[in-house]
Structure 1
Amino acid sequence: MMFFKNKSMLRNHHKGERVFILGNGPSIKEEDLSFLKNEVSIGINASTLLEKDWGFTQDYYCVSDARFINHPEKRSLATNLLSKKTKRFIRADLRDSDDPSLRGSTFYVPHLLRDGFSKNLAVGYYYGSTTTMLAIQIAYHLGFQDVYLLGVDLRYSGENPRFYKESSVQLEDSFTSVQLMNIAKAGEIFREESRGLYICSKNSFLRPYLPYVNLGDKI
Structure 2
Amino acid sequence: MLTGRRITDTQSFETLRGMHSGPLFLVASGPSVGAFPLERYAQYPMMAMNGSVCRFANTGVTPFFYICDDSAFVRDRLSLILQGVEFAESLAFSPRVIEALIAQAPDALVGRSVYGFERANRPVDGREPMGDRQFAWAARKDADFECDFSLFRQKRNRIGFSRNIDKGYFSSRTIPYTGIQLAYHLGFQQVFVVGMDLDSSKGRFYEQGDDAVGSRLDGDYEDYILPCFELMAKRVVSPAFQVYNLSLESRLPGTVLPKLPLDQLDALLAAL
Q: Under a length normalisation based on structure 2, what TM-score does the superposition of the two structures give?
A: 0.71
Q: How does 1:47-196 map to 2 (within 5 A)?
A: 47-71=52-76, 74-80=77-83, 82-83=85-86, 85-99=88-102, 100-102=107-109, 104-112=112-120, 114-157=158-201, 160-165=202-207, 167-172=211-216, 173-177=218-222, 178-192=224-238, 194-196=240-242
Between Structure 1 and Structure 2, the one with more helix by share is 2
Cα separation, partners in 2 of 1:30 and 1:46, compared to 1, 3 Å: same
Q: In the alignment, is the contact (CA less than 8 A) between 2:20 and 2:187 conserved in 1?
A: yes
Unpaired segments of 5 or more residues in structure 2? 1-8, 122-157, 267-272
Q: CA RMSD in A?
A: 2.1
Cα separation, partners in 2 of 1:85 and 1:205, compared to 1, 3 Å: closer
Q: In the alignment, is the contact (CA less than 8 A) between 2:93 and 2:114 conserved in 1?
A: yes
Q: Under a length normalisation based on structure 1, what TM-score does the superposition of the two structures give?
A: 0.87
Aligned residues: 212
Deviation at 1:188, TM superposition (A): 2.9
Runs of 4+ residues deviating >3 angstroms? 80-85
Q: Does 1:29 align with 2:34?
A: yes
Cα separation, partners in 2 of 1:81 and 1:109, compared to 1, 3 Å: closer
Cα separation, partners in 2 of 1:70 and 1:19, compared to 1, 3 Å: same
2:249 is matched with which residue?
203
Cα separation, partners in 2 of 1:66 and 1:36, compared to 1, 3 Å: farther
Q: In the alignment, is the contact (CA less than 8 A) between 2:66 and 2:88 conserved in 1?
A: no
Cα separation, partners in 2 of 1:82 and 1:110, compared to 1, 3 Å: closer
Equivalent in 49, 66, 77 of residue 44 of structure 1: 49
Q: Distance in 2 between matches of 1:147 and 1:137?
A: 10
Q: In the alignment, is the contact (CA less than 8 A) between 1:22 and 1:43 conserved in 2?
A: yes
1:18 is matched with which residue?
23
Unpaired segments of 5 or more residues in structure 1? none
Larger radius of gyration: 2
Deviation at 1:47, TM superposition (A): 1.3
Instruction: Give aligned-pair identity as a percent.
Output: 25
Deviation at 1:3, TM superposition (A): 4.3
2:229 partner SS: helix
